[in-house]
Amino acid sequence: MSQIETTENHSVANKDHQKKAKEKRSKEEEGKCLPITTIIKLIITIFFWLLCIGIFIWYVVDSVEVYLVALPVTSMSYQKYESIPYPAVTVCNFNALIDCTTCGLSLHKTYSVNASTGTPEEATIPNKYVEIDAGVGGLFRCITFNNNSALHAAEEIGYSGSYSLYFHVPKMATDRNNRYGLQVSFHEPGTTPDVFAETNFCLEEADNSFVLSKVRTQRVKATKEEPNLESVRWSFQRSSIALAKKVEGLIVISFSYGTLNESKNKEVRTATIEKILGEISAILVALMGIDGLKFFNAVIELGYSFKKKTLMNVWKIFNKGRW
């Protein structure tokens, strides 16, 4: 009876011992002794992780650089209108000496073509004499037309939609090496053109004719020359025809639209933030198989890792299934 009890006691003790030994072994396994093949696998995995992270960082830096320096491409389109407003027209004497008795100009007559009869008729365009101080460029004496957009919009193109402006321009002394004539700027109503930079010159004894088309440009970035993101310009073709009756000191300028279409030049970025983010996400998946949620989980886990002083949980998130 007592013998049996001892045996039983003995076997209980034995079981306890076995249990403790097992616990000890598993603790040891957890602590150090990983099999050599596991260690090699681990090293290779870490190596590839570092490689992928390296490539990823290089890719992000490269993409950001591309985004910052990429030149925009310009797309061109037309918008068709039934009528299109005339620009403001500023006409100046080419000569802009500060103290000068022959640098002025005066408006003689204004004509427009009656579209139903096809003949020129005297017309009025709101206009104003202005002196534009161009600094080192001198003092320009000018007449500005339609600066307040009062002129009715053009419904006809070409000759039928044309206006002609007749000016008297005082003669310069002919013994000097000066030039003689007018210059014309087409600009947005309510603005002052850069008259010193102007290169549209007009001759005496001829009708100097400008056939306009309106061009709107939208930029992605303002520059020193183009401080606004959107600007309107008038491009033109020019030609001239002699006046049958030559009047000394008379200079004629005509303008009309060649098209009621407005050209639109729109700059578009080749690299947009959305596109780059998309590409970065794609490379994240391709290189590391990381989706957004996984990444988010890992960031949260990273916070705990500092407390626990181990990156094991982060590692597990990214290597689940592989290990």
Ligand X SMILES: *[C@@H]1O[C@H](CO)[C@@H](O)[C@H](O)[C@H]1NC(C)=O
14 lines the binding site for ligand X (CB under 6 A): no
75 lines the binding site for ligand X (CB under 6 A): no
> Whole-number minimum distance, CB 187 to ligand X, in Å?
8
118 lines the binding site for ligand X (CB under 6 A): no
> Whole-number minimum distance, CB 182 to ligand X, in Å?
15
Pick from 3, 37, 116, 174 the residue near ligand X by CB under 6 A. 116
* Stretch near ligand X under the rule CB under 6 A, chosen from 36-44, 48-56, 113-121, 161-169: 113-121
* Stretch near ligand X under the rule CB under 6 A, chosen from 32-40, 115-123, 221-229, 274-282: 115-123
Distance CA 260, CA 264 (A): 13
122 lines the binding site for ligand X (CB under 6 A): no
172 lines the binding site for ligand X (CB under 6 A): no
Pick from 259, 265, 297, 313 the residue near ligand X by CB under 6 A. 259
106 φ, ψ (degrees, to nearest 5): -140, 145
> Which single residue is written with the structure tokens 């090496």?
177
* Stretch near ligand X under the rule CB under 6 A, chosen from 9-17, 100-108, 114-122, 299-307: 114-122
Report the first-to-last Cα separation within the chain, whole angstroms.
54
Distance CA 306, CA 19 (A): 34
If the CB atoms of residues 3 and 117 are measured against ligand X, the closer one turns out to be 117
256 lines the binding site for ligand X (CB under 6 A): no
**131 CB-near residues (< 8 Å, 6+ apart):** 139, 140, 141, 142
Distance CA 265, CA 213 (A): 13
223 lines the binding site for ligand X (CB under 6 A): no
**72 CB-near residues (< 8 Å, 6+ apart):** 219, 220, 221, 267, 268, 269, 270
| Residue 251: strand pairing partners | 167, 204
**163 CB-near residues (< 8 Å, 6+ apart):** 86, 110, 111, 112, 123, 125, 254, 255, 256
Size of the site for ligand X (CB under 6 A): 14
Catalog residues that contact ligand X under the rule CB under 6 A: 78, 80, 90, 114, 116-117, 121, 130, 144, 147, 190, 192, 259, 261
